[in-house]
Amino acid sequence: MADAPGSVRPTVVVPAFGKVRTSARSLTWWGRAWVRTFEENAFEEKDLVTARRFSRAGTLGAIGLSPGSATSVITVATGDRLLIGIKVAELSDQGWRDFATEAARASGHAADLVSGVLTPALVEHCDEAGVELFPGPSDVEAECDCEAWAQPCVHALALMYQLAWLIDVDPFALLLLRGRSRDAVLGAVSGQLDGVPPRVNTDLDDAISRAAEILALADAAPSGHGLADAAVASYDEQVALLTEPG
């Protein structure tokens, strides 16, 4: 997707991880889904083993994230510093509109995203709408100053493993790689909330809605006593309707 003339591509700079003792592999299902996009494309298994060692060794510098790309610098055994670049195919404008619609359809999708959770349900709904949040192997390209003939090279793979750690903590890192910043995504979802019908009116959604209404009534509860007080009687009737909707 081409930028508009004069547009600014926001960049997020993530400090270097340094040396870590954790596993290089991802901890969340959505992080592992990202890992599959490049592990399946690796030239040899030993490249993945080496890349995981590099990702933990503290040899990579800060990571720059922009819509559709990630960059970092790795210091190799010779002391040379190599620039690594990862390019990810961005979703189309229509794809992002469909994503916003699906994220607004079901209760809690946007809230889950904000809290750092990417739900399988949202991904499934997006897939049904023709929007693939996770890139395929052909959607990810790697470049490195090492100029290895097989790409992604071990240095690029090391960066991709570290990107999985970022995606673990914040799924918006994945969405940024697919072309949209956090603010742009949430703004589009918010714009859809008023006009999109719910996908399913489940019992849980209904219970949550009724609980919210009861709390709202409680905030404005009348101070009178007894059924002789019309305001109290009306309040009791409204609460009864919400607690026994049948």
Query: Mind giving me the DSSP string for the chain?
Result: -PPPTT-----EEEPP--B--S-SS-SSHHHHHHHHHHHTT-S-HHHHHHHHHHHHBT-B--EEEETTEEEEEEE-TTS-EEEEEEEEPPPPHHHHHHHHHHHHHSTTHHHHHHTT---HHHHHHHHHTT--SSPPGGGEEEEETT--SSSS-HHHHHHHHHHHHHHHH-THHHHHHTT--HHHHHHHHHHHHTT---S---HHHHHHHHHHHHHHHHHT-----STTSHHHHHHHHHHHHHHS--
- For residues 144 and 42, membership in a common domain is answered with yes
- For residues 106 and 26, membership in a common domain is answered with no
166-199 pLDDT, tens digit per residue, is: 999 999 999 999 999 999 998 888 887 655 444 4
Between these two residues, 245 and 98, which has the higher pLDDT value? 98
Of the pLDDT bands very low, low, confident and very high (cuts 50, 70, 90), residue 224 is: low
Residue 49 domain flag = yes
- For residues 59 and 98, membership in a common domain is answered with no
108-167 pLDDT, tens digit per residue, is: 788 888 888 999 999 999 999 999 999 988 899 999 999 888 889 999 999 999 999 999
pLDDT surpassing 60 at residue 54: yes
pTM score = 0.74
- For residues 82 and 109, membership in a common domain is answered with no
Residue 185 domain flag = yes
Between these two residues, 122 and 224, which has the higher pLDDT value? 122
Residue 175 domain flag = no
Average pLDDT, the chain: 79
- For residues 35 and 152, membership in a common domain is answered with yes
Residue 58 domain flag = yes
- For residues 15 and 77, membership in a common domain is answered with yes
- For residues 99 and 146, membership in a common domain is answered with no
- For residues 21 and 140, membership in a common domain is answered with yes
